[in-house]
Amino acid sequence: MPEKNGTVIGSDLHENLETLRRICADSADVNIMNVRICGTDCAVVTAEGLVSAAALADLVFQPLMELKMCMDGDGIFRFLSSGSLLSTERVTVNSYGEMFRLLFSGFCLVLADGVSKCCAFGSQGFERRAVQTPDSEQTVRGAQDSFNEVVRCGMAMVRRRMKTPKLRFELVQCGKKTSTDVCIMYLSDRASPEAVAQVRKRIEGIELDTVLSGGYIEPFVDESYGSSFFSACSYTQRPDTACMRLNEGRICILADGAPFCLICPGLFADNFQTMDDMCTKPYYASFMRWLKYAAFLLAVALPGIYIALVMFHPEAFTLKLLLNLYVSEEATPFPLPVEMAILVILFEIMREAGIRLPKSIGGAVSIVGGLVVGDAAVKSGLISAPLLIVVGITATSAFVIPRLDQQISVLRLIFIFAGSLAGLLGIAAAAVLFTANVCAMDELSVSYLSPFSPLEAGGAADLLYRSSFAGYARRHTTVNENAQREETGD
Amino acid sequence: MKMRLSAMQLAALALCARCYSMMTYFPHENNNAAVYIISVLLSSAVQALIILPAVVLAGRTGQGAIYAAGSEKPTVSKIAAALYLLFFMWDIFMTSAGFGYFLDEYFSHRVSGIAALICIAAAAAYLSGLRSSVLGKCAGITLAVFASFTLLLVLSALDRTDASAFHFAVDDIGGTLAQDVKLDILRSREVVMLAFLLGDVKGSHAKSAYSYIGVKAFIVSFVAAFAVLVMGDFAFSTQTPFYYLSCCCTSTIIERFDAGYMSVWTALAVLRLGLGLHCASRCCAVLVSPKEKKTARRLIPFLPAAAAFVVLLFHKGKSVVYLRESLWVIILLAGIIPLGMMLFSKQRSAENESQQI
């Protein structure tokens, strides 16, 4: 909830300005300009760097200065609030709390002597990052724009793609200190009203001082946040993906200051679908989907299964392969699990370094890693070549599903541990636990494994192959069976 | 709102439990596969009759046997819950002991049966705390893994099949059939779990029960038939044809499939044990007030697993795992108690109606 400052504005301008200065302790970024309009003392209050000087001059200052007739404070306020069109956004403010919220959101406040209200005009002109290509979700043929940090810009990007009055935007302020604008987006004829009400209630209940990104909101929206490996809310940087999910009956949440959109409920299958699926032939999109599922399994379980097979079940290998592995492993000084753990942890370190370092140096990390780990370690006999191949396959597979990199990193280590401890028995026990953990996730009454479990024949098929567009025209929802209502206009 | 168990999820749960029993060992009196398969089909028909009252009870009251008596007759509920609890504890004991014993039999040089038992009991403890719908979803996935593994075995041994081992050369075919039917029903302890959980199902209770019985009959018959096709008379000269089937299947990439068998079998064991613990915990919740003796209530279901641990420690597994309970136990819990509860609830509703008039 935003910080409360419900003191009502008085009618004396000088007193009001004094109170304003006192509350913000003469903050350097608050500009107060006293001006006499039509013989009445007025003041224009703006926040440095948050308003556009050009827009202010054209839309507010010039029309006000051109007022010739003699008016008292009430007359000026009436002109500002109902007799003029100075800006696209106009709000009448009664309290200091509201006044500060709008002031620091880039509004220009006009106060007149003798009036116990003020008029706020939207004249935002702060520096913002331009709309750029989505670096975390790149596509070959899909759209190339992404959300930026301004919530209204994100709303416009979604609205531009969905020109239906059924698309609803609800703005909620979160954070006692930050009063962050959080936008809840949904299609009223697709999303379940109960789910929307639930999300709204949860967001309004956030009692944090600061809300600086979607990550601050997620724990409050995601029911299983503390008890599951996976997240029941997914993220997207792409407006087209957000639109696709809205059409499936999901709810999207945009927080001001973060270029990512939170999708509720997020499904496991979302991680394996991209916008490119819609731009390629169904057979290829289906093939890529299968490839991603296989990559996920390889990324999580391959090192653990390799250890389990080599250490506990060598009889499963054919003789030739077994001899090759035996020769390679005999030459190394460390036990297999230790070798594997060293390599995997080293890989995680290099990956983290590559992400955090500037791009120019990030490349050098991979060269050093490739040279040191890939070549020198094998030549010196510290690491066996088959093991390196396994870790290489694992790492490359993980890159195919970047959205799950956190979960993959941890689960991989768990499977290595389980495989080292009890072979395939350990792997099976870990796999059942992992499956149970995923199955236990429900968000807004939607199973995380939906539409695969519980099985919905039409929806589950879409997980295995990309349906034709004729199929999507008939049914295109993953979470709400009753969402196929006829559009009835406004 | 938390999701309820669907009809197919419950069927999957019961099937997983049955697949575990089937992978562990096949109970049979003679070495004739054809007779065994017919007995499985007959036993399935008998089980369909046994479970009928539970299906009707769940359909009529929307509740399981231990809840159908309602709050008006807590003693009736408690007696039913106590009987079910004893059975589930027996099932947990047999599952734990069977897993530990057969693990030592098959894979003793790699993993200790006792250590593995501790491992899967811990995993099952996690599962038992979850809702039955979660267990159902988990069972669906595990069943898919089981089906994939079986398919892999079939594909890898398809070129070595020989049907000459199918015959009816048995001395007393009627007596053998009757004995095998009895043994198959005894091996189907999951029917009691199915009857117990039917009240949780949202949807058709009959679909759940009869899907399970139909698919179970198909799976068991198919596996038995395929084992005989691949291994001939040897398949039924052992109690564990599935294990030997996995050992003798081979492909150009995998030399033998017993490692795969171990992983699928373990996953099914964890699930079965988790299901047993879940059912036992619910019985405990009826018997002991949720507010009182919370720790005791949680620990009671684990006592049989601990007992199995002791049995394995003294190498007495073999004398335990082939023990056979009375057929009446299964008939009582899967059929008679639900029938009694059904009559009781019918009588109660008639009384209520007359009071309203």
Q: Are residues A312 and A407 in the same domain?
A: yes
Q: Which residues of chain B have pLDDT under 50?
A: 1
State whether A432 and B2 contact (CB < 8 Å).
Answer: no
Among residues 419-438 of chain A, which lie with CB inside 8 Å of chain B? 422-429, 431-433, 435-436
pLDDT at A460 over 80: no
Q: Which residue of B has its CA nearest to A322?
A: B255
pLDDT band of residue A410 (cuts 50, 70, 90) is very high
pLDDT at A1 over 50: no
- Which is more confident, B349 or A375? A375
Q: Are residues A304 and A414 in the same domain?
A: yes
Contact B244, B238 (CB under 8 A): yes
Three-state DSSP class for residue A225: coil
pLDDT band of residue A5 (cuts 50, 70, 90) is low
Token couple for A463: 């997980």
Q: Are residues A197 and A68 in the same domain?
A: no
Residue B298, pLDDT score: 72
**How far does the CA of residue B356 sit from the closest CA of chain A (Å)?**
37
Chain B interface includes A454 (CB < 8 A): yes
Q: Are residues A118 and A198 in the same domain?
A: no
pLDDT at A319 over 80: yes
**How far does the CA of residue A416 sit from the closest CA of chain B (Å)?**
15
pLDDT band of residue A482 (cuts 50, 70, 90) is very low
**What average pLDDT does this structure show over A193-211?**
91
**What average pLDDT does this structure show over A379-399?**
89
Q: Are residues A437 and A372 in the same domain?
A: yes
State whether B110 and A423 contact (CB < 8 Å).
Answer: yes
The number of folded domains in chain A is 4
Q: Is residue A465 part of a domain?
A: yes
State whether B259 and A316 contact (CB < 8 Å).
Answer: yes
List of chain A residues whose C-beta atoms are within 8 Å of the C-beta of residue B252: 318
State whether A315 and B255 contact (CB < 8 Å).
Answer: yes
pLDDT at A155 over 90: yes
Give which of A223, A311, A425 to mutate to test B binding, by max B Cβ within 10 Å.
A425
- Which is more confident, A360 or A79? A79
Question: CB neighbours of A261 closer than 8 A, spacing ≥ 6?
Answer: A147, A154, A214, A235, A236, A237, A239, A242, A252, A253, A254
- Which is more confident, A11 or A365? A11
Neighbours of A304 (CB within 10 A): 28
Q: Is residue A133 part of a domain?
A: no
Q: Are residues A96 and A194 in the same domain?
A: no
Domain containing A475 equals: 450-488
Q: Are residues A104 and A162 in the same domain?
A: no
**What average pLDDT does this structure show over A281-293?**
89
Last residue of a domain, one of A275, A307, A326: A275
Q: Is residue A135 part of a domain?
A: no
Determine the Cα–Cα distance for residues B68 and B345; give it in Å rounded to an integer: 7
Identify the sign of the CA torsion B123, B125, B129, B131: positive
Residue A375, pLDDT score: 77
Residue B123, pLDDT score: 85
Q: Are residues A468 and A433 in the same domain?
A: no
Question: CB neighbours of A51 closer than 8 A, spacing ≥ 6?
Answer: A106, A107, A108, A123, A124, A125, A126
List of chain B residues whose C-beta atoms are within 8 Å of the C-beta of residue A428: 262-267, 270
Chain B interface includes A445 (CB < 8 A): yes
Among residues 267-286 of chain A, which lie with CB inside 8 Å of chain B? none
State whether B103 and A449 contact (CB < 8 Å).
Answer: no
ipTM: 0.89
The model's pTM: 0.85
State whether A425 and B264 contact (CB < 8 Å).
Answer: no
Q: Which residue of B has its CA nearest to A419?
A: B263
Q: Is residue A54 part of a domain?
A: yes
Question: CB neighbours of A440 closer than 8 A, spacing ≥ 6?
Answer: A224, A227, A228, B130, B131, B134
Residue B86, pLDDT score: 93
Q: Is residue A8 part of a domain?
A: no
Determine the Cα–Cα distance for residues A406 and A398; give it in Å rounded to an integer: 10
Residue B353, pLDDT score: 67
Last residue of a domain, one of A275, A308, A335: A275
pLDDT digits (tens, 9 = 90+) for A328-357: 888 888 889 999 998 898 888 888 887 777
Largest separation between any pair of C-alpha atoms in chain A: 102
State whether A425 and B116 contact (CB < 8 Å).
Answer: yes
Measured between CB atoms, which of A318, A427, A442 is closest to B2? A442
Which amino acid belongs to residue A36?
R
- Which is more confident, A469 or B145? B145
Contact A165, A222 (CB under 8 A): no
Q: Are residues A196 and A56 in the same domain?
A: no
- Which is more confident, A83 or A21? A21
Last residue of a domain, one of A246, A275, A304: A275
**What average pLDDT does this structure show over A470-490?**
52
Q: Are residues A301 and A367 in the same domain?
A: yes
List of chain A residues whose C-beta atoms are within 8 Å of the C-beta of residue B134: 436, 439-440
Q: Is residue A134 part of a domain?
A: no
Question: CB neighbours of A18 closer than 8 A, spacing ≥ 6?
Answer: none
Q: Is residue A138 part of a domain?
A: no
- Which is more confident, A63 or B296? A63
List of chain A residues whose C-beta atoms are within 8 Å of the C-beta of residue B3: 442, 445, 447, 454
State whether A454 and B3 contact (CB < 8 Å).
Answer: yes
Measured between CB atoms, which of A322, A427, A433 is closest to B263? A427
Measured between CB atoms, which of A422, A432, A440 is closest to B116? A422
Q: Are residues A284 and A271 in the same domain?
A: no
Give which of B266, B268, B278 to mutate to test A binding, by max A Cβ within 10 Å.
B266
Q: What is the enclosing helix (H) or strand (E) of A443?
A: strand A442-443
Residue B246, pLDDT score: 92
Residues of chain B in Cβ contact (below 8 Å) with chain A: 1-3, 6, 8-9, 103, 107, 110-111, 115-116, 119-120, 123, 126-127, 130-131, 134-135, 137-138, 140-142, 252-260, 262-267, 270-271, 274
Q: Is residue A146 part of a domain?
A: no
Tell me the C-alpha to C-alpha distance, in Å, between residue B50 and each of B56, B71, B290, B326, B342.
Answer: 12, 27, 32, 15, 14
Q: Are residues A425 and A454 in the same domain?
A: no
**How far does the CA of residue B145 sit from the closest CA of chain A (Å)?**
11
